[in-house]
Structure 1
Amino acid sequence: MDAVRAINGESAPHVTVVLADDHLVVRAGMRLLLSQDPAFDIVAESATLPDTLRAVEQHHPSVLVLDLNLAGQSSLGSIPELQAASPRTRILVLTMQEDPAFAREAMRNGAAGYLLKEAAAEELLGATRQVAAGASYVQPSLGARLAVAALDTPGAAADGALTVREGEVLSLLVLGHTNQEIADRLHVSVRTVETHRARIRNKLGAESKADLITAARERGMLA
């Protein structure tokens, strides 16, 4: 099988996707999951960084789903080059690297989203939809760790420190989830979510969603 494989479908969905992973089985799994949504058209697959760059230059996909390790080569530092090759392409990192430092660096380099391979199938679909729509996405559990890690750095205000749960709620809030959706995802009551929101607003001095987004970005949770 070629490292880059064009896939010609009978229809032309409005979200084109390139899958970059050096494991054939992983690519097959991603292709199977994304094909559940008729809005997605998998236009190419790649297993190396050079082939990924060629695929992006050739297809200018809406979304590039990118592993951080391709054939033994880190793709983290290549995100700006991939972005420059196709500025309208949104890059969703899908990786086993759960260290918040990798997520922070990927987002700073230009990635639109960061998702762990352990995520549920529905989360991959949702994350791909969100980045394709122009939003940022960080897996909520990792977003919480990013917030906590940022607050552990020198100069972080102690009175603004978020708990892990508050970090999860903040991450979901800035991604556009309602109180009910957050409650469902975290398996808590809506009242509990409202309490967390109030505490987050008080700690961060955030009165609006724009304030929350700014606070999340400052904590490395968004690009």
Structure 2
Amino acid sequence: MSRPPVRILLVDDHAVLRAGLRLLLEREDGLEPVGEAGTAEDALRALPRLDPDVVVLDIEMPGIGGIEGAARIRERAPGARILVLSMHDQARDVRRAFDAGADGYLLKSAADEDLVRAIRAVASGERYVHPSLGAALAAPPRDGLLDRLTAREREVLRLLALGHTNQEIADRLVVSVRTVESYRAHVMVKLRVSTRAGLVRAALDGGLMEEPD
């Protein structure tokens, strides 16, 4: 007796991409795309009706997004496997996805070649990580001190590390120089550093210099 096909829910806010993935999967024996969703919220509403075995999920979407979406899907459909399909190749993004409950992580640039393999892997209970991400994941995690900073403190730290003066930061953030100095003081206390060089090193170690401007 043949095994039932793997039921797949495609979740991405780009309809053209979803259509392309569906066509790719429909050509494969044993795989059955059963539905599509443009947001994680739509996917959550569709779960009871579609009962997917695998949810293929983008990270960057309107609404709660893929990371929070993965966590909620894991809560509501613990039997479903989650494969994140993302353009982001940073180790921190991969770790965030797995921490949220993902079972696999595949780069969109490799979807044509490796999506079927990744879906079959997670459907069979394996954890899948695209091979090109292996080196990044092998590196030790970033220091967690930056998690203590607020979003504005992180931005001030990043701008300081990029060489901006307090006045330039104040102009950019539309705040007073005194406010920038206060943020800077709070950051130095939280990160336990006492020099600008220490701030730059903390920003580098925390990956802030890799974030988009």
TM-score (norm 2): 0.62
Residue matched to 1:148: 139
The within-5 A match list for 1:96-135 is 96-135=87-126
Amino acid in the other structure paired with 1:90: R
Give the Cα separation in 2 of the matches to 1:82 and 1:16. 15
Residue matched to 1:197: none
Task: Spell out structure 1 runs of 4+ moving beyond 4 A.
Answer: none
* CA positional deviation for 1:13: 4.3
Give the Cα separation in 1 of the matches to 2:59 and 2:25. 19
Q: In the superposition, relative to structure 1, how do residues 44 and 13 fare at CA in structure 2: closer, same or farther (>3 Å)?
A: same
* CA positional deviation for 1:92: 0.2
Q: In the superposition, relative to structure 1, how do residues 77 and 38 fare at CA in structure 2: closer, same or farther (>3 Å)?
A: same
Contact preservation (8 Å) 2:41, 2:69: no
Matched, 1:19 2:37: no
Give the Cα separation in 2 of the matches to 1:78 and 1:46. 12
Contact preservation (8 Å) 1:15, 1:40: yes
Tell me, what secondary structure is at the counterpart of 1:118?
A: helix
Tell me, what secondary structure is at the counterpart of 1:92?
A: strand
Give the Cα separation in 2 of the matches to 1:128 and 1:99. 21
TM-score (norm 1): 0.59
* CA positional deviation for 1:49: 1.9
Larger radius of gyration: 2
Considering fraction of residues, name the structure with more helix. Answer: 2
Unaligned 5+ runs, structure 2? 145-213
Tell me, what secondary structure is at the counterpart of 1:129?
A: helix
Matched, 1:36 2:17: no
Match of 1:94 among 79, 82, 85: 85
Residue matched to 1:50: 41
* CA positional deviation for 1:48: 1.5
Give the Cα separation in 2 of the matches to 1:124 and 1:67. 13
Q: In the superposition, relative to structure 1, how do residues 124 and 60 fare at CA in structure 2: closer, same or farther (>3 Å)?
A: same
Between 30-39 and 88-97, the greater mean CA deviation after superposition:
30-39
Give the Cα separation in 2 of the matches to 1:13 and 1:43. 13
Q: How many residues align?
A: 142
Tell me, what secondary structure is at the counterpart of 1:76?
A: helix
Give the Cα separation in 2 of the matches to 1:109 and 1:130. 19
Q: In the superposition, relative to structure 1, how do residues 64 and 120 fare at CA in structure 2: closer, same or farther (>3 Å)?
A: closer
The CA RMSD measured in Å over matched residues stands at 1.9
Give the Cα separation in 2 of the matches to 1:101 and 1:86. 25
* CA positional deviation for 1:74: 2.1
Contact preservation (8 Å) 2:8, 2:55: yes
What CA deviation, in whole Å up to 9, does each residue of 1:66-112 have, x standing for no partner?
00122364221231211111111000000111111010111111100
Unaligned 5+ runs, structure 1? 1-11, 155-223
What CA deviation, in whole Å up to 9, does each residue of 1:99-157 have, x standing for no partner?
1101011111110000110005231110011001110000111122110244x769xxx
Contact preservation (8 Å) 1:60, 1:88: no
Contact preservation (8 Å) 2:41, 2:64: no
Amino acid in the other structure paired with 1:117: K
Contact preservation (8 Å) 1:13, 1:41: no
